[in-house]
Every structure is written in structure tokens, then in C-alpha cells.
Structure 1
Amino acid sequence: MGGRNEVANRVMDKESVDRSEGFGERVLGLLLDRARLMPPQLIAPLIAEEVVGIGGRDVSILLQDYAQELLVPLPGGKLHVGQPEPMADSHAGRAFLSEDVVEVPQAHGVRMYLPLLDGSDQVGVMALTLDAVGEDDRRLLRRLAALAAEMLVTKNAYTDLFFQARRREPMSVSAEIQWSLLPPLTMSVPQVAVAGILEPAYRVAGDSFDYALNDNILHAAVIDAMGHGLDAAAMATIAIGAYRHARRVFISLPEKYAFMDDAIARQFGPDHFVTAQLMHVNVATGELELVNAGHPAPLLIRDGKVVRQLESATTLPVGFGGEEPRIKEHMLQRGDRVLCYTDGIIEEHVAGGEPFGEERLIRCINRLGEEPSDGMRADLRRLSHTLKRERAGRTSDDATLFMIEWHGGTVDHLAVLD
């Protein structure tokens, strides 16, 4: 008897749910309904039309350029296309780096800058003006920006339009290969965040990084293929491809190293190599496993200061047929950052002909650590540009930074609807 009443109550509750289309659903639903058939060049104009429909004007879609210096307006009908906005010292840049909405009062309304986030990967910024802004406007526009970001990333897979908007100077063939190889430059979940930067953005050849979050394990790799140009890009492509294959088939770091080593040796012979760092981070506990194959040791940053190098027994670079590497284990504390970098950072020659060096790198990190933090990704970008200035703008070799920030905890509650 009780069971029948329970079923009847569920049926009544189901029947009492209001399924009529509200205003917000109509706005977002139009984008969803048309997304499947919408050609890439019409995505941004449709978004602009949606914004106009809720009282907005002067809509701009700004995408991050490859050097991570500018936010570049996407051209298109019904869009306001102005000058690129600097990442530093602009309202759009602040919204982008903080991942938060920025509102700027004006004489005739409020200019809003909403970050375009695909999951947690930063795509760009949507800018628009409203006469006045209320909480309903903020909620609807945040959701519209999230949907717009997802659509831009999806359509980007089969168009060059967004690439051409983001490219601010000629790009080498090797750099195009490397950019197509990379995962999103940033990823953030409550337990862990990662971010990476490649320099020189338009001429990079042999440096790359890769990562994947599988259950509670963050898999990460940073590589540096010997040489320059297409040869280096080809080696990096094989190394990352072999790493991804091993990651999806095997478990241990030594197996990944062995698989990459065999792939490089078979394809390029005994005179070619790739240095690499391979890591597993348990995002629940902070346990870090590290294999170092001829790479500079990562730096452990705590409270803005470099605490120490994360040492490990260094094995031979990938491709030289080294023995099975030994794994070094480290334990992270909440808020710790691990910075990996390639030798192009410290081997670049500065005034007087001396190498930039690890000590100068550490001094730069510690100096920036004394300033207020804008979040890991903004801090890494600031470090990259600071290092470039310290090198007097010189980047004759690939110079890559890759950072992991660990927070720990659990995320199961995110799968439970309130």
C-alpha cells in the first residue's frame, strides 16, 4: 500500500513541474537549437543578436592571441569590432585573467566584460553594454557566455576563422604543428589547476606539454625535442603521440618512458633525443610521482617563494635507450605550485654573454611572489612576460613554462543537484 502511494506522489510531483518555456530558456534555447547546423562564421553574429534581444548593444567577442598579450576582436556582422585589448591594464584583460565579470559604469549604461570559459579553459571575453544591470541580467549573461564559449570551441575544430583572428604575426610551420598538438593551455577543477605557456609563440618548434585528468590522477608531461624547425616539431609530435598512447594503455611512469623511448629511437635513430619530465599527481592526496629524463628539475613554489627543486634520479633522454627510470615521490601541501620549465629559459644568453641561469629565474619567481596574486594562470603569464623582459626580449630557443597548482579535497558534491 505504501509503495503505491509513493509512486502516486512521484507521478503527481512530476505532473506539477512547470515545463513551459521561460524567457531565459528561449534565449539560450535558440542557440542550442541552431548550433548543430550553424556554420562557424555565423556563431558570433548570432550571439550578438541574442544580446541585442535582451537589451544589449555594441557586442564584441574577443579571443586570446597566441602570445597571450592581447584580446583580439572577432570580425563579423552585427559585432562591434574595435582595437585589440591588451591583456594587462584593460577591463577585458581583467575579466579574462580573473575569470570573473567586470562591470564598468558609463555615461549611458554599463559596459560588461564576461569571460568566455569552455569548462575552465579560457577562450576569450564577451563585451556588451546594457542600460542597467540587475541580478537576472548577470545570471542570464553568464550562462550565455558559457554556452557561447562551448560553441566557439566546438566550431573551431573545423574552421580557420578563429585561428586567423588570434594570429597576430606570421607563424612558422613548426609552430602551427605544435599549437595543433597542444591540449588547452589551462585547466582548472577544485582539486587542481594547470597552465602552460610556449615561447616564442609564433616560432616554437620542439617544446610541448600534455596532460589529462583521469579519475584522481593528473598525468602530465613536459618535453623538449632536440634541434629546431620541422625536425624538432616532428620529434615532439611522435613523443607526445607515444606518451598519449602509453597513458591510455599503461599505468606506470616507467612504462610511459619506455614506450616514448622506443618510438623516438625507431623513428629517428640513435642520434636524436627528447628530454622529458613525466608526472603523476594524486589530486586527492597531493602525492606526486616524478620521472626526469634529462630535463631541468621542477621548482616547488610555496606561498609565492621557491622552496626547493623537486629532485629525482635523472635517466637518459627519450630515444637513447636508457634503463628503466627510478620514480621519485614527493608530497605536496595545499596551495603548492610545481613549475616545470625547459632549458631555453635558463640557457638564453643575456647582456655580457652569460646564461640567464636558474638563480635569476628563482629571483624573478620570488620577487613576483611578493606581489598580490591574481590566480595561478595570471601569475604564470606575468612570470613568462617578466622573464622575457629580463632576457631583453630574446627567445632564441624554445622556452616553455608549465605549472601545476594543487588544492586537494573532494568534488563528489558537484554531481549532486541541490
Structure 2
Amino acid sequence: MFKLLKICSSQVPFDIFVIPKSAQLNVHDLDRASALAALDFDYNGLKNELESLSILAAKIAGTELSEINLLDSYAQWTVASSLGGSYQKPLEATVCNHTVEEARDFETRLDLDPRFKNKEFVTQQGFIYYFGIPLTLGQTIPVGSLCVVGKSINSLSKDQKDQLHLIAQQIEQYLGLKQHTVHLEAQLKQQQQLTRRLAHDIRSPLSGIAQLKTEQDFKTMEREDLEIYLSAAVASAAAILTLTDDILSKDAARLHTNASAYVTLTELGTKLYELYTPQATPKNIELQIDYDATSVKVPRKNLLPLAGNLIANAIKFTPSGGKVSVTLKILRDQDPTCIEIQVEDNGIGIAPENLKTITSGTARAQAGTAGETGYGLGLRFVKELSERQGGTFTITSKEGLGTKVFLRLPID
């Protein structure tokens, strides 16, 4: 069992700005989280490809900042910025959270908008203007935004807005191609595995046929013996045809139905640690990830968003100085074999009467331990998505003691 451990730190690299919510959960948030999970992007891997477009957007708008963001149920992931770098913020702390609710774009004077005018990014950093465009990736559900934020302008011309919409279309096309490439690479990898399997499985019968030819002189062989050897050769050839037909039919079906990449628990644990340590650090929370050091690979599909939502929910409802523990296991004694994701925290816990409302999505927003908005959305999202994949979702919690979630997904 290997561990990734985040040592608590009292240094907070950025402030959390909170926009309180009291309304009932927005069903569109769940749709967006599901759509983003289907894309299965490595957020940190998009920076190099998209940074130039964010720089171009800032130049067109004449603003000090432009960002390309993807929004899940808990966080905004800035995958490219005109100032460089990639980072994340709590979803309720962002203006782009409002952009994805708009059909075309969202424009506001931050210094005049009562939702934002008293926030530190206005009063201390000096940003006064915002313009954002939702990114939909060929579907009706937006999963992110392109935004420009300025300190010295208070409006954009129609031409500027039209040009920004063209950039947004380029981003959507790139992300769509990126996802298509991921599927093609997975198919190619499986095709290569199929080729190696074929080469291995037909070697023995082919060797038998080759030996018949090299070890016997057919010209001097008796007819009866020749018939025996020829019958053996025909039988070997028939076995090869049967074997290849079986392999090709099974693997063709697998290629058609499952184009997901595969990951080891080490790779999954490392990626989760990299992605969610920035959320734990501002609250001085220890994030520990344990996993079996096995070479067995499991389908990657939806593992990051499923585990990530559980981790983000635990961080949100754990107080400063607390701990979130994650355990990744492969359960070979289950039928079918499963991957188990366990997330446990020593946070504020959930009252028994609230457990049902949270998992069903009927709960109202609840403040986290640092004032963050707690949607209950992440747990509902994980439950619904895991059940669609044939998995099981179990949650136990006690007020004041913390929460433990078990997620099991079949991998066979």
C-alpha cells in the first residue's frame, strides 16, 4: 500500500471569495457535471494548447486578464490564462459560474453589481468589468467559459464581442477534437494489444505446420503417412481460423463499446493528489491518498470526476486542521472484479434526516466549514453516475464526527 500525503500548512496561497446561495439546487449543475465527466479531460494538460487563445482574447478585449475555464460541481478549473499558469477556485467564488447559466454571454460591471462589488477582486485588485461566453462543445449543456476581465474598461464594442465569440468557437472545436483524439488513441492502443495477442496465440499452431514441412520429405513419404500429416496441417489451420475469428469478434466488440483509456491505481492516486491538494491547502487540511501498488489497469472512464467530487465534498465540509483520507483498492473477490474508492473525513458530518435529501438532490445549499456553498450536488452526481455504470454508492455519517463514502465500480 502506497501513500500520498499532504502535510498541513498554515500558509494560504489564495483567498476564498464566497457568494452565498440559499436557492434550491440547480439541476443544470448536475447536467454540466455529467457532461464534463464524459469528456474525461486532464485539466492540467490543456494549458499549452489553449494559452495562446486566452492571450489573443485579452488583446482583442484590451483587458488585463482572460481565462478559459471548465466548471464541475465544486470547482472552476482555469485550464489557460493570459497571465500564464493553471489553477482552480471554489465554484461559488467565480463570476463564470453565472456565465454558464446564460444562453449566449454574460456581461457585468463588477464594481456596480451587488453580487460582486464588495469582493476583494474588485475592492483590492481593481477589476471592474467582466464579459464571458459559455463553452458548449456541440451540445446544449455548457461545461465552461471564455472570459475577459478588465480594470480600465467598462464595455466592449460589438466587433470585439463577435471576435471573442469566434475564439470561443475555436476553443470548442479544439476541445471536441481533443476528446476525439483521446478515443482514437485508446482504440489504437487496444488494436495494438489485439495484434500482440494474435501473434502470440497463433504461434503454436503455425509452428506445428512449419515442422511438418521441414521435418518430413513428402516425396518419399508413404501415402498413408502423408494423409496423416496433411490432416494435422488442416486441423491446425482450422484451429487458427477459429481462434482468430473468436479473438477478432470479441475485441471488435470491445473496441466499439469501450474506447476509454486505462490507468493503474498509482496513476489515479497521483493525479487525484495533484488536482485536489490546491483545494485542501487553503483550509490547512491534510489530504492522504492510499492505493494498492498493483500493475493492474482499470478503465479510466469517469474515475477522476467520480473520485474528485467525493474528495471535493469532503474538503468542503471538513474544518481547518482536519483530515481527508482516500483509499483506492481493486476487489478481486467480487464478481465482477471491482475498484473501490473510499473517501473519509473528520468534518462536520451529515444529520440522518439530511442524508436522503442530499443524495436525491432535493437539499438546499448548506455552508461549508469556511463559508463555501455546499450544494449536496457532488454526492448526487456520484450516486447517479456510478449507478449508471453498474456500481454501488454507500454513505455513512454522524454529525460532528465526519462522513465516509464507499464507491464500487465493476472493471470486468
Pairwise TM-score range, normalised by the shorter structure = 0.3 to 0.5
TM-score, normalization by structure 1 = 0.35
TM-score, normalization by structure 2 = 0.36
Question: Which protein is richer in helix relative to its size?
Answer: 2
Higher alpha-carbon Rg:
2
Greater relative contact order: 1 or 2 (C-alpha under 8 angstroms, separation 6 or more)?
A: 2
